[in-house]
Amino acid sequence: ARENGLEPLAKTIMAQNNDDVDFISTKYINENVINEEAALQGARDIIAEWINENIYVRKQLRRLFQLKATITTKVVKTKKDDQDAQKFNQYFDWSEPLTKAPSHRLLAILRAENEGFIKFKVEVDINEAYDIIDELILKSQNKTTPHVQLAIEDSYKRLLNPAISNEALQEAKAKADANSIQVFANNLGQLLLAPPLGEKRILAIDPGFRSGCKIVCLDEKGDLLYNENIYPNAPQNETAMAMKKIRSMVNAYQIDAISIGNGTASRETEFFIKKIAFDKPVQVFIVSEAGASVYSASKSAREEFPNYDVTVRGSVSIGRRLSDPLAELVKIDP
């Protein structure tokens, strides 16, 4: 528009002096500007850019987004029945104030959008946004006003809203990331500083359903004494046999405590273990499995247990985390 010589017309409109801009626009018709409406449209485009660059407009709109922005999500229709999308199904039709969205929820929404399952918008009431811009830009009501108002609407929809909504989102994401890092650090600290059980004989269980539960028995030093699979959970439901085997292992290897990984089938396996009547007191603990699979495939695990597969190595790690969490967790590659 500037290249077509329309900036003087834009300045005339923006001056808001009740000029007959419909008539004035005829003076700007040339080989690139075919009629009055093309001239006025070009001038409005220039005004929209000026409004977009207005620091006071941006400041007030940022404030509006900080206070009243809403994040609204919708499922991508073609992905609605996708199995992987179901973990995000609560965000298929979701809306809440951006400032009140918990960190984990905002980050989940961003993951769902990144994986192509949902679309989302960060927006404010459009009339409130127009009111803010009107107050800062409109000087009077006259023949130029409709053109200025059209430029305001265009500037907001095409330029200001996309930019400032993205700023609001990035600011919220930065806070969510920082909060998640802090939560992770706190959890990691608690995990690393968990009091060790000490030199006890441990029966460790990597729980599961269809593939069963991998059992290992460890001595006071964490050395592997025995390993076996049991199938107390669905679909096999070999509960009686599994109970008999656990009782036998506890007695044979003089087990002091049982360590159960907190992954799939953890609660079901814990419930099963606590129904067993042992001949002596046996403590039962749930421990984090985080990183166990990484360790089980590591070079150090292969060197220590060259004749055992990753399921045995992972179960050993679960058991050792109970006897000395810090010593075991530092083996995991960051």
Amino acid present at 225: L
In this structure, is residue 85 part of a structural domain? no
Cα–Cα distance, 251 to 230 (Å, whole number): 17
In this structure, is residue 159 part of a structural domain? yes
In this structure, is residue 183 part of a structural domain? no
In this structure, is residue 121 part of a structural domain? no
Q: In this structure, are residues 266 and 207 in contact, taking their beta carbons and an 8 Å threshold?
A: yes
Sheet with strand 213-218: strands edge to edge: 224-230, 213-218, 202-206, 257-261, 283-287
Q: Are residues 161 and 245 in the same domain?
A: no
In this structure, is residue 75 part of a structural domain? no
Per-residue pLDDT, 207: 97
Q: Where are the alpha helices (DSSP H) in 115-232?
A: 126-137, 145-154, 161-192
Q: Are residues 241 and 152 in the same domain?
A: no
Cα–Cα distance, 292 to 332 (Å, whole number): 8
In this structure, is residue 227 part of a structural domain? yes
CATH of the domain at 262: 3.30.420.140
Per-residue pLDDT, 185: 82
In this structure, is residue 165 part of a structural domain? yes
H/E segment holding residue 213? strand 213-218
In tens digits, the chain (334 residues) has pLDDT values of 678 889 999 999 999 988 888 889 888 888 888 899 999 999 999 999 999 999 999 999 999 999 999 999 999 999 999 988 899 999 999 999 999 999 999 999 999 999 999 999 999 999 999 999 999 999 989 999 999 999 999 999 999 999 999 999 999 999 999 999 998 888 777 766 766 788 999 999 999 999 999 999 999 999 999 999 999 999 999 999 999 999 999 999 999 999 999 999 999 999 999 999 999 999 999 999 987 888 888 898 999 999 999 999 999 999 999 988 888 877 877 6
Q: Are residues 265 and 318 in the same domain?
A: yes
Write the Ramachandran bin of 304: left for phi over 0, alpha for psi from -120 to 50, otherwise beta: alpha
In this structure, is residue 266 part of a structural domain? yes
Residue the block writes with tokens 């127009």:
130
**Closest alpha carbon to 16 in 38, 35, 43, 36:** 43
**Closest alpha carbon to 192 in 34, 332, 89, 12:** 332
Q: Are residues 261 and 148 in the same domain?
A: no
Q: Are residues 168 and 260 in the same domain?
A: no
Which residues form the domain of 288?
202-329
Of 178, 193, 210, the residue that ends a domain is 178
Q: In this structure, are residues 160 and 51 in contact, taking their beta carbons and an 8 Å threshold?
A: yes
Domain count of the chain? Answer: 2
Q: Are residues 170 and 29 in the same domain?
A: yes
Per-residue pLDDT, 334: 61
Q: In this structure, are residues 259 and 294 in contact, taking their beta carbons and an 8 Å threshold?
A: no
Q: Are residues 310 and 252 in the same domain?
A: yes
Cα–Cα distance, 85 to 207 (Å, whole number): 26
Write the Ramachandran bin of 237: left for phi over 0, alpha for psi from -120 to 50, otherwise beta: left
